[in-house]
Amino acid sequence: MKTNFNITIETLIKQHPIILFIKGDKHSPKCNFSKQAVDILNTFNIEYYTVNVLNNKNMKDQLKIYSQWPTIPQLYINQEFIGGTDIIINLYQTLKLHEILEIHINS
């Protein structure tokens, strides 16, 4: 059974081609992991949307259940869960994030 939070999470993911769930916002991340994820996305000069999970503890908890991923931040591109900061960093360093974003931009 879907909760209201699952519906909200799904709606946000469908509405925004690139969405990053973080602590804080892209202009003022509230933890180092969120800052690292924002810094990496900012290197691409792309539009992306952020959701501050600190504004709603229930959403933070439901997001972890929805994605089956235990940490924040969480990145979604084209409705696909990409991962948290460690994965974002790895994809960035191996240039795979560049490929994922290039596919997104060209689709």
Question: CATH number for the domain including 83?
Answer: 3.40.30.10
Please state, for a pLDDT cut of 70, what percent of the chain lies above it.
Answer: 93
Q: Is residue 20 very low, low, confident or very high in pLDDT (cuts 50, 70, 90)?
A: very high
Place of tokens 């081609």: 17
- Residues paired with residue 24 on neighbouring β-strands, in sequence order: 29
What is the domain count for the chain?
A: 1
pTM over 0.75: yes
**Mean pLDDT on 86-95:** 98
**Mean pLDDT on 78-102:** 96
Alpha helix locations (H) across 68-107?
85-93, 96-106
The 10 Å Cβ neighbour count of residue 24 is 18
Residue 2 has pLDDT above 60, yes or no: no
Domain that holds residue 90: 4-106
**Cα–Cα distance measured from residue 59 to residue 76, given in angstroms and rounded to the nearest whole number:** 16
